[in-house]
């Protein structure tokens, strides 16, 4: 499906954030499938680069079940409720069989 590459980390107001991710070395469970959880958070950031704890964050956890140990996915993250400004996207992936957890962060700006 269609997605935009935001190399400059700018997202137009009202547009959907597109996230491409790849997960490797997932451990198979007894049922023959791999299972992992992805949790993403969108945190507001002030002009000085500090996370704004006085504002609410957006958090969502998704569960994935696959037949392979490598997963490549595209995910749409709704950002229509985000006002113009700076944000930090934090993505955590947990392999529920091995309990291995990885986290990545990236900052972006919603612009009018």
Longest dimension (CA), the chain: 49
- Separation CA 38–CA 71 (nearest Å): 12
Contact 101, 94 (CB under 8 A): yes
Question: pLDDT tens digits, residue range 5-38?
Answer: 556 788 888 888 888 889 999 999 999 999 999 9
Give per-residue pLDDT as tens, 34-93: 999 999 999 999 989 999 877 777 899 999 999 999 999 999 888 888 899 999 999 999
pLDDT score for 100: 94
pLDDT recorded at residue 5: 52
pTM of the predicted protein model: 0.84
95-105-40-99 Cα dihedral, nearest 10 degrees: 20
b/e per residue 87-100 (b: at least 16 CB within 10 A): bbbbbebbbbeeee
């Amino acid at each position: 499906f269609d997605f935009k590459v935001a190399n400059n980390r700018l997202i137009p107001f009202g547009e959907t954030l597109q996230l491409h991710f790849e997960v490797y070395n997932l451990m198979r469970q007894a049922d023959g499938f791999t299972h992992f959880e992805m949790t993403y958070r969108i945190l507001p950031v002030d002009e000085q680069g500090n996370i704004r704890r006085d504002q609410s964050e957006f958090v969502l956890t998704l569960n994935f079940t696959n037949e392979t140990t490598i997963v490549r996915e595209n995910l749409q993250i709704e950002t229509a409720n985000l006002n113009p400004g700076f944000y930090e996207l934090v993505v955590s992936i947990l392999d529920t069989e091995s309990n291995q957890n990885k986290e990545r962060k990236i900052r972006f700006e919603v612009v009018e």
